[in-house]
Structure formats: C-alpha cells, structure tokens
C-alpha cells in the first residue's frame, strides 16, 4: 500500500521519504509500538528487507532495544505516538540524556487538530515541555516538502552531537498526505 498514493500522484508520500532518508543515513533498526497514524510507514518498513523491525510491548522497551543496538554499532529509531512518549521521561532523563546517546524518536502527534480524545489532548500538551526540560532537540514536520530536510538533518545532528532527537509528525502532514 505504501506506493499506491505515490503512483496516483507522481509524488512520494511522507512515509516513502522517511524510508528513503532512514536508508541514506544507515538507520537499519526500527522499534515501535503500533499506532494508526504510523501504519503506512510501518507497512513500508516491514515490507523492506533492509530494515529489522521490532514491535515490543512498551515504548521503554523500544528505546532500550535501540540504545543497546547503538552500543553494538547499529543505528536505529523508535516510532511512537504522543501518549507512548509520555511513558519515557524516566528512561530519557536517567539513561539517554546523561549518557549522550543519539536516540532518534519519531512521534505521531495525537491530541491536536481534531483529535477529540481527552487523554490524548492532555498528554499532547506535556510532550514539548518534557522535551524542552530534558534539552532534547525536536521539530514538528507539518509539510510534505519539509520531511526530507528535517528527518535527514535531525538524524545527522543527533549522531554528530551524541544527543537524542525527536521528530514530531503533525496531523497537518499525516492527515493531508496519506
């Protein structure tokens, strides 16, 4: 399914671009906890033999797998939704940030722009303040034309500075271009 919108429009989808940029930056491991917004990206990653894709039970486990793999020389990324990010402050503050581990996170922004679930909306309001408090670089991707630039540069910055980075997938991107 990941190529159907591309064929129909002649343009790459946001998730096609993400897959291409991950490969260009030698990101081979992907961990995630399932999320509807991320499903087209997850299908594309599962369909591509380049990637090792693991779906643990919790986001903390997903981070642990990526961190351990990084220490073994394998680059990875963790995919999650906003409420999944809410489970991570302890592991970020006690492991990732103080030990300068370039953890890449891609977070589908839930609880904003038409998401009427109260729990998602409350958690969404906490995400950016937590990222700021921990000094984690983060950018929201809102337009298709910005996907490649932001994803590529966030990956490069994370590994060159040995610091975590969060790429937030705005509903402006994911709902417009799927």
Query: Considering the entire predicted model, what is its pTM?
Result: 0.91
pLDDT at 122: 79
Mean pLDDT of the chain: 91
pLDDT above 60 (res 2): no
pLDDT above 50 (res 110): yes
Distances (CA, A) of 43 to 25, 37, 76, 88, 168: 20, 11, 17, 24, 19
Q: Which residues contact 108 (CB under 8 A, 6 or more apart)?
A: 35, 37, 38, 79, 80, 81, 82, 169, 174
Alpha helices (H) along the chain: 4-9, 14-24, 39-47, 59-71, 82-85, 89-91, 118-133, 147-161, 171-174
Percent of the chain with pLDDT over 90: 80
The closest alpha carbon to 175, from 143, 149, 134, 147, belongs to 143
Cα(162)–Cα(156) distance, rounded to whole angstroms? 10
Using one digit for the tens of pLDDT, what is the confidence trace for 13-57? 999 999 999 999 999 999 999 999 999 999 999 999 999 999 999
Percent of the chain with pLDDT over 70: 90
Cα(3)–Cα(8) distance, rounded to whole angstroms? 9
| Structure confidence at residue 10 as a pLDDT band (50, 70, 90) | low
pLDDT at 4: 44
| Structure confidence at residue 175 as a pLDDT band (50, 70, 90) | confident
Using one digit for the tens of pLDDT, what is the confidence trace for 76-100? 999 999 999 999 999 999 999 999 9
Q: Give the residue numbers spanning the domain of 116.
A: 4-174
Total structural domains in the chain? 1
- Which string of b and e fits 62-100 if b means at least 16 CB within 10 Å? bbbbbbebbeeeebbbbbbbbbbbbbbeebbeeebbeee
pLDDT at 8: 46
pLDDT at 112: 76
Cα(172)–Cα(140) distance, rounded to whole angstroms? 10
141 - beta bridge partners? 169
- Read off the CATH number of the domain in which 14 is found: 3.40.50.970
């Amino acid at each position: 399914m990941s190529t159907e919108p591309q064929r129909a429009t002649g343009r790459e989808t946001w998730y096609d671009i993400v897959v291409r940029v991950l490969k260009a930056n030698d990101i081979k491991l992907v961990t995630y906890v399932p999320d509807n917004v991320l499903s087209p990206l997850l299908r594309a990653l599962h369909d591509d033999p380049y990637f090792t894709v693991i779906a643990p039970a919790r986001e903390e486990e997903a981070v642990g797998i990526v961190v351990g793999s990084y220490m073994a020389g394998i680059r990875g990324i963790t995919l999650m939704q906003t409420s999944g990010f809410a489970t991570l402050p302890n592991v970020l503050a006690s492991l990732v940030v103080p030990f300068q581990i370039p953890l890449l996170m891609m977070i589908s922004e839930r609880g904003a722009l038409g998401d009427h679930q109260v729990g998602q909306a409350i958690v969404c309001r906490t995400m950016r303040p937590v990222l700021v408090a921990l000094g984690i670089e983060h950018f929201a991707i809102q337009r298709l034309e910005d996907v490649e630039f932001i994803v590529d540069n966030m990956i490069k910055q994370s590994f060159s500075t040995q610091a975590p980075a969060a790429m937030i997938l705005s509903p402006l991107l994911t709902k417009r271009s799927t």
